Amino acid sequence: MKATLLPGSPSTLYSADHALSVSIQALQIDKDAHRWQGQAYIVSGGKTEAVKPVAGYYEAMLSVPVLIRQVGSTDVIAQGDIEMKSMPERQIRKDTVTDEAQLIGKSPRRTISAERPIRAEEIAMPLVVKKGQTVELTYTTPYVHIRTEAEALEDGAVGATIRVKNTKSGKAVSSRVVDTGHVEANIGEM
């Protein structure tokens, strides 16, 4: 939670030339209006020096991961690119990433600017196959193993299904991205 004094409150509640502590007592909270009020007890050496009425509003805060720099779609997000930032809960959407582990190793679908909450739809596994790239195409069954070259007809991340064109036969097949530059034809496609 973040509590703030109401606008128009005095900028100096109490001044002294010695150490003080403040405690808020008789605290009343209006949950619907997100307001609070109470009495500020100003204490020095165990002795109350003054009691002042105080009031303000409060808002729930949530710690979310944000990027410390702008990150583009060809970048892979690393731990060093992230910091946690406390933000008002009202600014956080349902699809906002709240765990930094969800960002590490991912790439933005489009450029993401620094210092703002990130939505889950803005990130994906990094692309390891690019459209137009020559890739190794394999097809394996218990009885046969075929390896040839193909041209990627789509971009793809590990585990994604993309279309590739066999460079020898010219036939387009559906394949699963296995690794950088390597795809595996689906059974029945070759």
Query: What average pLDDT score do residues 77-93 get?
Result: 94
- Give the residue-averaged pLDDT of 99-115: 94
Confidence of residue 116 (pLDDT cuts 50, 70, 90): very high
Are the CB atoms for 115 and 85 separated by under 8 Å? Answer: yes
What six digits make up the tokens of 136? 């190794």
pLDDT at 104 over 60: yes
Considering just the CA atoms, what is the radius of gyration of the chain in Å? 29
Q: What is the pLDDT of residue 3?
A: 87
Reported as a single tens digit per residue, the pLDDT across 15-46 is 899 999 999 999 999 999 999 999 999 999 98
Reduce the DSSP state of residue 100 to 3 states and report it.
helix
What is the edge-to-edge ordering of all strands in the sheet holding 21-30?
2-5, 47-59, 35-44, 21-30
What one-letter code names the amino acid at 160?
A: A
Cβ 185 vs Cβ 175: under 8 Å: yes
- The answer for residues whose C-beta is within 8 angstroms of residue 9's C-beta and 6 or more apart is 54, 55, 56
pLDDT of residue 166: 93
Predicted local confidence at residue 39, as pLDDT: 94
- Residues facing residue 82 across a β-bridge: 67
Tell me what pLDDT residue 186 has: 76
- pLDDT tens-digit profile of 162-181? 999 999 999 999 999 999 99
Name residue, tokens 């100096």: 12
Portion of the chain with pLDDT greater than 70, in percent: 98
Paired tokens of 170: 């010219």
